[in-house]
Amino acid sequence: MDLRSYFRRWMEYRRNLAELSEFDARELKDIGMTHADIYRVAREAFKADAVIAKRKTASAKAGKATRGAALFVNA
């Protein structure tokens, strides 16, 4: 994972925190949350993005290796 990707995810995490922090207790209750849940939910989304980014990177690397192997076999 590169630094730009990490920074983009970190900024998204901060935006999520800011947006959820603006909700009052009633609004949070409507979506099944409390103020205590805000950091946990934002952190889980941040970690989920990291897992997705790692899978994309691994998939891209595997695709490159597969294409190279196919070229070698066809030669």
Q: Which domain holds residue 50?
A: 3-74
pLDDT higher than threshold 50 for residue 11: yes
**How confident is the model at residue 23, as a pLDDT?**
95
- Both structure tokens of 13: 């995490």
Q: Which helix (H) or strand (E) holds 46?
A: helix 38-74
| CB 41, CB 33: distance < 8 Å | yes
Number of domains within the chain: 1
Q: For the segment 53-75, what is each residue's pLDDT rounded down to a tens digit?
A: 778 777 777 776 555 555 445 54
Q: For the segment 32-44, what is each residue's pLDDT rounded down to a tens digit?
A: 999 999 999 888 8
- Cα separation of the two ends of the chain: 33
**Whole-model pTM?**
0.61
**How confident is the model at residue 75, as a pLDDT?**
47
3-state DSSP assignment of residue 74: helix
